[in-house]
Amino acid sequence: MSCAYLFPGQGAQFCGMGKELYDRFELARKLFAQADDILGFPLSDTMFHGSEEELRDTKVTQPAVFLHSYIAYQCLADRKPDMVAGHSLGEYTALAVSGALQFEDALRLVSCRAEAMHQCCQKQESGMTAIIKFDTSTVEEVCAGITDEVVVAANYNSPKQIVISGTLAGLQLAEARLREAGARLFVPLNVEGAFHSPLMESARKQLAEAMEKTPFGKPYCPVYQNVSSKPEVDVETIRQNLLVQLTHPVLWTQSILEMAKNGAETFIESGPGNTLQSLLKRIDPTLSGASIFTILS
């Protein structure tokens, strides 16, 4: 039976995340301490005791979700995956689990990415909005028709959930036109800015500099990357796709379907929350998914 591991991205965080792992496993305690030392601040303390507001800070959120997901896998997984994928930030966890990145290097890149994206968000008011139960192609057409503001399709989460990203004015204009076209359910995302859009270009440049100094290795299993939705094992392709990901959409629906087509029979989510399990059922109700906490503990 082929097993795929999935790793969540920003938005999955919750107060107290990781404390259960810390209390149960010596390995978790070592990894949390190592992470605090690498980052130069007590991330574990914020994860265990911080407020929702503190955990929403991109500079905290991204390394916290990465760390929780990685440690959960290391402590609870009973077998190596046959394939992996991560949603946005979660792609770094997938690469660390598959051996393409060492833990320390992945954490440093995640921290760099978070800081660079945070800086982008400070330059211009922007955000992201999910459109629920509406035609994806119409959303794409509406975004393409708006040329005086930035607004693009950013996350293809399921056949009936697409997230758009852009300036606040662009989002407002897109929502107005989509309402005219029949869309009714809009959910603003609790994020700092327009991730996976052209507004992240300066963050891409900063991350590129950090990646030049970071060693990558060939993963022991295919990594289904966000920008291609295809299984990747080539080191240079993986590196370039990570950079492109910052300014291009997350093809999550396409990735899940590709993994299923290539033999994935069980999808295990490793990390905080159950967002990816929920999306899995919306993409294809016949697919089998579960949390690492419920089936491998």
Write the burial class of residue 285 (CB in 10 Å: 0-12 exposed, 13-18 middle, 19+ buried).
Answer: exposed
Backbone angles phi and psi of 143, in degrees to 5: -65, -40
Query: 215: which 2 tokens?
Result: 């060693």
Residues 65, 113 contacting (CB under 8 angstroms): no
Q: What is the number of alpha carbons within 13 Å of residue 11 lying toward its C-beta?
A: 20
| 188: alpha, beta or left? (left if phi > 0; alpha if psi -120 to 50) | beta
How far is 27 from 268, CA to CA, in rounded Å?
Answer: 21
Catalytic residue among 44, 68, 69, 88: 88
- Catalytic-residue membership of 165: no
Query: 156: which 2 tokens?
Result: 């293809």
Cα-based torsion angle of the residue sequence 265, 271, 272, 275 in order, rounded to the nearest 10 degrees: -30
Backbone angles phi and psi of 163, in degrees to 5: -110, 135
Catalytic residue among 68, 87, 118, 196: 196
What letter does residue 70 receive in the DSSP assignment?
H
How far is 24 from 36, CA to CA, in rounded Å?
Answer: 19
What are the beta bridge partners of residue 127? Answer: 166
Residues 200, 185 contacting (CB under 8 angstroms): no
Q: What is the number of alpha carbons within 13 Å of residue 69 lying toward its C-beta?
A: 40
- Catalytic-residue membership of 88: yes
For the annotated catalytic residues, the residue numbers are 88, 196
